[in-house]
Amino acid sequence: GQSLVELPHKHIVKTCAFSPNSQRLATGGKEGLLRVYVLKSVLNKSTAAETQTKLAAAITKVCWMDDATILAGMANGHIAMVDVASGNLQHTFVAVDGAEIRDMEVSRDGKILSSAAGTKVTFFNIESKVMLHQWPMPIHFRDEGGVTLHPSGTKFVAGGSDLWVRVFNLATGEELECHKGHHGPIRCVRYSPDGSIYASGSEDGTIRLWKTDPSN
């Protein structure tokens, strides 16, 4: 439980993520400044960021596409793709213009970027930068919620402002399942690596695990 080092920021920090190779840490928040730290340097008490990239809005989520590329979701509904080595902006995905990116996830094969913002979930092909699907949801993601894509790439789970956890067909947006169990809004959802179960976390103070195939 001992603190190893402190990394000062000038405003609220909303998100952080380690690189897949565990060599770097990315952070973001109200400043709209994406910082990347080299862990070896940090643990040697050097608290200066390796790169700093000023983005167009506050950063709400960061995740690594791979060891060389970071994705940063912003409060304006955009997602920035940033090169780690240079700190340069490579591309901007527009999910829901003007709506805060509440959640985002890169699929396990690295091909699809999922995001939840406003009242919509959006899916992009990362390589081509093309929007694959955007589906309106019966919930909003203004204050809570998330989306997660099944490893098969055929369906996704979304949860947000109400008490229900829903499963949808990715290609059509059709609702396949709807489950109630929580007593507060859904804050987060994630599939297990093998896709056999998914987890949901709620303001009611519980995590629930659900079978992907309820018939089994």
User: Above pLDDT 90, what percent of the chain?
Assistant: 90
What is the spatial distance between Cα 19 and Cα 48, in angstroms, rounded to a whole number?
A: 17
* Nearest C-alpha neighbor of 119 from the set 102, 101, 140: 140
**C-beta separation of 52 from 59 below 8 A:** no
Q: What does the alpha-carbon distance between residue 136 and residue 3 come to, in Å, rounded to a whole number?
A: 43
SS3 24: strand
Give the strand order in the sheet containing 69-74. 59-66, 69-74, 78-83, 89-94
Per the CB < 8 A criterion, the answer to whether 147 and 189 are in contact is yes
Tell me what the mean pLDDT of segment 160-184 comes to: 94
pTM to 2 decimal places: 0.93
SS3 content of the chain, % helix, strand, coil (to 5): 0, 50, 45
pLDDT score of 216: 52
Q: What is the DSSP letter of 79?
A: E
Domain borders along the chain are 1-94, 102-216
Rounded-to-integer distance, Cα 152 and Cα 109, Å:
10
- Point out which residues pair with 63 in neighbouring strands: 71
| Surface-to-core class of residue 112, CB atoms within 10 Å of its CB (0-12 exposed, 13-18 middle, 19+ buried) | buried
- Checking if the pLDDT of 80 tops 80, the result is yes
CB atoms within 10 A of CB 202: 20
Distance between first and last Cα of the chain: 41
Per DSSP, 42 falls in state: H
- CA 197 to CA 134: how far, in whole Å? 24
Counting residues of the chain whose pLDDT is more than 70, the rounded percentage is: 99
Q: Which fold has domain 102-216?
A: Methylamine Dehydrogenase; Chain H (2.130.10)
- pLDDT single digits (tens) 85-131: 999 999 999 999 999 999 999 999 999 999 999 999 999 999 999 99
Q: Which fold has domain 1-94?
A: Thrombin, subunit H (2.40.10)
